[in-house]
């Protein structure tokens, strides 16, 4: 076995150093990408699926036939209900989309006039109603009279996103680090946003309502006389099933 020449020895050292530097650089790049990807997804479901307060449309669809332009009793109730809710939560005018150029266009125009009278009777001002003509894209589909207005709503999602497998895998960072899966908490946030009565309650509390003065005066009068201020319910014992606990 012959010894290597000094030239070959120095060449081998340079090649080994170059390979070591390249491996170090690639390892550093991979490590940086993993940290950035992991830190971009928050662990708290309230931050991952936040409830957003935004403006959206509330709509009522009225089906109108060809030979009858008036509204049925159920449709009149829907219009009156829409007007009452608009007075409480509407942030813009009520837009009525009336079909034109359809077999039921004349009946829809008659129905819109009745809708206008119902909205006015419910307290909607004339400037709060805007009519728009529209041509249905599908001539076979029944053209409807649509009423809509903008309101403040709360929403969350979309849900059902599964970027990674839920099963045990060395490729799943959440499984290895015992973190919740990406879609965790989305349905809860979305249902909470849909059920809240006033979206502003998610941002700030409401002011206190005035106290009930007659009830408070009665309690003060009993306290002044030295009698019990507790409320008695004489019929409460009629519904009991047992005396257990006494």
Residues in the chain with pLDDT < 50? 1-3, 29-39
Q: What is the pLDDT of residue 239?
A: 67
Q: Say if residue 158 is preceded by a cis peptide, omega within 30 of 0.
A: yes
Residue ranges of domains in the chain: 53-152
CA–CA gap between residue 213 and residue 224 (Å, rounded): 16
Q: For all residues of the chain together, what is the average pLDDT?
A: 82
Q: What is the pLDDT of residue 75?
A: 93
Please list, in sequence order, all residues whose beta carbon lies within 8 angstroms of the beta carbon of residue 181, skipping any fewer than 6 positions away. 162, 164, 166, 174
In eight-state DSSP terms, residue 176 is H
3-state secondary structure of 205: coil
CB 86 within 8 A of CB 124: yes
Task: Report how far apart, in Å, the C-alpha atoms of 139 and of each of 68, 82, 103, 134 are.
Answer: 19, 28, 9, 12
**In Å, how far from its chain's centre is CA 197?**
12
CA–CA gap between residue 43 and residue 177 (Å, rounded): 11
User: What is the model's pTM?
Assistant: 0.59
Strands 52-63 and 129-134: unpaired
- Encode pLDDT of 51-71 as tens digits: 999 999 999 999 998 877 689
> Regarding the domain with residue range 53-152, which homologous superfamily does it belong to in the CATH classification?
OmpA-like domain (3.30.1330.60)
Alpha helices in 40-132 (DSSP H): 45-48, 73-89, 105-121
Beta bridge partners of 53: 154
| Tokens 């006033």, residue located | 198
- Encode pLDDT of 183-211 as tens digits: 999 999 999 999 998 898 888 888 888 88
Helix (H) or strand (E) holding 114: helix 105-121
| Tokens 């599964």, residue located | 162
Q: What is the pLDDT of residue 123?
A: 94
CA–CA gap between residue 52 and residue 202 (Å, rounded): 10
The rounded radius of gyration (Å) of the Cα atoms in the chain is 35
Q: What is the pLDDT of residue 31?
A: 43
């Amino acid at each position: 076995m012959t010894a290597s020449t000094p030239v070959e020895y120095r060449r081998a050292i340079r090649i080994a150093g170059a390979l070591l530097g390249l491996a170090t650089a690639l390892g550093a790049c991979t490590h940086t990408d993993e940290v950035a990807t992991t830190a971009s997804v928050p662990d708290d479901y309230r931050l991952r699926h936040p409830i957003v307060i935004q403006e959206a449309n509330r709509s009522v669809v009225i089906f109108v036939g060809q030979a009858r332009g008036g509204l049925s009793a159920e449709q009149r109730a829907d219009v009156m209900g829409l007007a009452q809710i608009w007075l409480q939560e509407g942030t813009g005018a009520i837009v009525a989309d009336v079909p034109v150029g359809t077999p039921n266009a004349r009946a829809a125009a008659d129905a819109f006039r009745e809708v206008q009278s119902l909205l006015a009777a419910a307290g909607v001002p004339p400037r709060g109603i805007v009519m728009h003509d529209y041509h249905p894209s599908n001539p076979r589909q029944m053209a409807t009279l649509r009423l809509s207005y903008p309101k403040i709503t709360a929403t969350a999602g979309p849900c059902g996103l599964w970027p990674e497998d839920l099963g045990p895998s060395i490729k799943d960072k959440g499984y290895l680090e015992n973190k919740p899966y990406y879609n965790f908490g989305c349905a809860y946030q979305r249902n909470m946003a849909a059920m809240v009565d006033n979206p502003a309650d998610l941002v700030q509390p409401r002011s206190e309502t005035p106290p009930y003065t007659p009830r408070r005066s009665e309690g003060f009068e009993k306290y002044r006389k030295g009698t019990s201020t507790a409320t008695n319910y004489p019929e409460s014992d009629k519904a009991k099933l047992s005396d257990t606990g006494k």
